[in-house]
Chain A
Amino acid sequence: MQRLTAYLKGFNTRKALRLTNARILSQIFFFAVFIFSIWATWTSRLGGYPVSRILEMDPLVMIATMLSTGYVYRYLGWGILIIGVTLLFGRVFCNWICPYGTLHQFVGWLFNIGNAKSRIDENRYRGIYFLKYGILTVFLLMASMGALQIGLLDPICLMYRTFATVVTPATDMVIDQASLTANGMALDTVWLDNMKFKPGVNSRVFVGSFWIGLVIVGLVGMNIIIPRFFCRVLCPLGALLGVFSRFSLFRINRDVHKCTDCNLCLSRCEGAADPQGKLRLSECFSCMNCIDDCPEDALSFSMVKLDTKQVVPGPDMSRRRLVFAGILGLLAYPFIKNHGVNTNENFSPKLMRPPGSVEENAFLSKCIKCDQCINACPTNVLQPATYQEAGLEGLWTPVMNFKIGHCQLKCTLCSEVCPTGAIRKITVEEKLGKGTYTEEGPIRLGTAFFDVGRCLPHAMEIPCVVCEEVCPTSPKAIQTKDEEAKDVYGNIVVLNKPFMVPDLCIGCGICENECPVKDQRAVYVTAVGESRSDERKLLLKSRGEVA
């Protein structure tokens, strides 16, 4: 009680309402919105909620896809909002909204405990911080030629990707264990199971997700060496906003008459923006820490005119550096395109894209590797592509792995959450080729084939036909020929030998998924015959109604 009254006496309204506290609230809010978006991206929770909105608000996604495709897809215009905010207040996005920025700041706050002097030194501007502008130049030049790679480093894409493939399965694994232990103590944990990111399914796995996890651990870990390493050195979105922030109305202003050059404003400066000297406007995250830390009250966030004696307005990007980055960008495009792993002649048979995907070249100019589709997929069939399937250019883009799951007939969730239209929004009607889409026919993801040397009825005279049973088309694309045979033990067995009707196959992969020849399936789907591409077609035409 005494403590409480003492606390209330000491409570200072002005202190409590200071900008840094507002900032922390904003960061908590947007981080919670981000987690909630990830959580709500699940088949039983999606009810038309804008779960990809944070991606759609990302102006780098808007600008880069506009350069690569010439158009602005669906909700990507939301990016203008963040540009508008930047034009008013500078790079507030980085320190008030960005969930990745929040994560970095939080980790730095936890682990970077040095004395005031070392922290001041850590937060001085360094030459290497120009690098992000170089990265941005390279990415934007590549995008303007049609190779979209921003997703590798865009913080929002990176965050969504990491949560989809690394964080959510890990969290669910922990909850599963906790729930199992609680069940052992006769506690009812159904509510806890329903709280999981992905309730009611087997543990989800993501091929190669180790590397995605390693990237985030590495980048976040770098905070210990250079605070906000990613944000200061690598972030292309921060760089883009840094370009815009020179026009911002508000900025940090130092009253040179009050300033005693004590450098304390550097002790928690997130952006390394030199508030103690000439403020580097394009580096400043508007975190407001310097205002708190100034013992003389010399700093304020105010609307003052741009004075180049007090402020370095633009990025630290000389003309030479810009030309050098430009040359790298121009080279990167042919380098990555001529790598030859994902062309119409030499594409991997395993390169099967989710339903609604546009033709492969257009796909690569739209996909930002955010992996929201993978997050939404209820069967775990969508996987981040490895080098083997999609080459360097398509790394971590979505591919289907039918050993892990299958594409559910009446599901179009991936197309609903895709922010960029790499997977175009489709309806179930369009996917199945019903109603107004009868003429186009169903969307085909690939074609199934039999490996008769491994198929139980074909090669070993053992009955099976799980593939026929689960084939979802009507009439079934896998049918059977009934044959009576005498096996090597002298038993008379009736074999329903399965065979394929390619005209009916939609490439959903449930046959491959359910095939009991588990290591190398006796029925398997490959990409040829996919309906999104004229170049990768198989059949000239459908042969008509099945008799």
Chain B
Amino acid sequence: MNRRTFFRRISTVGGIAGAATYLAAAPENWPLSLRDKSGLRSVPQHTPFSLRDYRVEKPFGKPDVGIGRQGTPQEKLMAALDAIGGIKHYVQPGDIVLLKPNVAFDRAPNLGATSNPELVELIIKMLLVDCRAQEVRVADNPIESPADCFEKSKVRFATEKGGGRVYLPDSNAFKMLNTPGAELIEHWWFFQRPFTNVDKVIGLAPVKDHNLCHASMGIKNWYGLLGGTRNQFHQDIHGIVSDLSIMIRPTMTILDGTHILMQNGPTGGDPSNVKPGHTVIASVDPVASDAWAFEHLLERGRDYPQYLFKAEEKGSGSINWDGRIRIV
């Protein structure tokens, strides 16, 4: 071995050893340092994302809640939407729209546990044809097997017939959402995937009985976007439902009052639990529309569920619907 080789070898080994020592031992805040003194650096961090506000200012002088009670479901829907200024005011050509029905259970549409597929199809067609939306996505994270829930509730068929696309909750569909001001879900897993590049969000919720929180309507519908161990939230159901009202600020909420699940909710299971409601509601104030539906569709008077008061406190709308509705 000559001197030249000796130095070359020594410097190579020294260089590698030096670089390795730097990576392993340099203080954590130095560039490229891999040191993890506390063991916390290697704990996976989920950088939370934020949802934007999807609300649109309603046209001047229009009510907050439009209620259609005449004619076919299509006529009711049109009437309700026209009352709050027409859907074209809310959805612009080229928008990507997310429609969130309630498909929580593997039930036939007539059992009232899921959103009416007829309305799903009508709304999608309206969005694509009248508003010239670029794309309509339909998404929910059901309690039972997603594929079956969408199948048996006929929502998948209705979506595809209308020209929309169903997003199912794959294991990689969830991301950590930051909801500032929320009591329980300041950071929580959220069904994010269908929200990529979305411009407008519309909720389509059935009106249902619910033992624990008394009623599942427009605000409770957003529960279906939560992931993680969401069954813990029943320990503070009113807290979570009011949190949902600030987690997402939808463009509008449509309440499906065609089949109303009066008892044995939210699962239903027997046609005798369902009452025809002959109503479709479109609303830009989800608190007011829930309050009205609780009173007039579920027929439970003004003893509103506590979560509506909490949602009002959190600034999601106001319960007092007097003078802010139009019934057509």
Q: Interface of A with B (CB < 8 Å)?
A: 42-44, 176-177, 179-180, 183, 190, 193, 199-203, 378-379, 406, 408-411, 456, 462-466, 468-476, 480, 496, 510, 514-516, 518
Contacts and interface: CB of A to CB of B under 8 A. Distances in A.
A199 B172 CA distance: 12
B295 to A, nearest CB: 21
Contacts of B108: 410
Interface in B138-172: 143-148, 151-152, 165, 167-172
B interface SS class: loop
Interface centre among A43, A177, A462, A480 (most CB of B within 10 A): A43
A463 B235 CA distance: 5
A496 B107 contact: no
A interface SS class: loop
A161 to B, nearest CB: 22
Contacts of B167: 190
B235 A464 contact: yes
A391 B138 CA distance: 45
A180 B108 CA distance: 33
A516 B148 contact: no
- Give 5 nearest A-B pairs by CB, closest first: A200-B168, A474-B269, A378-B145, A474-B270, A44-B147
Given A190-B167, A473-B269, A518-B229, A410 B106 contact: yes
A523 to B, nearest CB: 12
Interface centre among B106, B232, B272 (most CB of A within 10 A): B106
Contact of B269 (A464, A472, A515, A516): A472
B41 interface: no
B324 interface: no
Interface centre among A199, A411, A462, A464 (most CB of B within 10 A): A464
Contact of B211 (A378, A409, A468): A468
Nearest to B211: A468
A471 B270 CA distance: 13
Given A180-B172, A199-B168, A379-B145, 5 more contacts: A43-B147, A44-B151, A202-B171, A378-B145, A462-B235
A474 B273 contact: yes
Given A199-B170, A200-B168, A474-B273, A466 B147 contact: no
B172 A201 contact: no
A379 B106 CA distance: 11
Contacts of B170: 176, 179, 193, 199-202
Contacts of B212: 463, 465, 468-469, 496
A462 B107 CA distance: 30
Nearest to B272: A474
Nearest to A409: B106
B231 A474 contact: no
B292 interface: no
Interface of B: 105-108, 143-148, 151-152, 165, 167-172, 193, 196, 210-212, 229, 231-232, 234-237, 264, 266-270, 272-273
A466 B269 contact: no
A466 B171 CA distance: 23
A180 B171 CA distance: 10
A515 B229 CA distance: 10
Contacts of A462: 235
5 contacts: A378-B147, A406-B144, A410-B152, A474-B269, A476-B267
Given A408-B144, A468-B211, A475-B264, A516 B232 contact: yes
B229 A516 contact: yes
Nearest to B273: A474
B143 A514 contact: yes
Given A464-B234, A514-B231, A496 B211 contact: yes
Contacts of B165: 190
A119 B169 CA distance: 51
B264 A476 contact: yes
Contacts of B232: 516
A469 B234 contact: yes
A171 to B, nearest CB: 14
A470 B267 CA distance: 6
A157 B171 CA distance: 29
Contacts of A202: 169-171
Contacts of A42: 147
Contacts of A201: 145-147, 168-171
Nearest to B267: A472
Contact of B268 (A203, A466, A474, A496): A474
Nearest to A471: B267
Given A199-B170, A201-B170, A203-B171, A408 B106 contact: yes
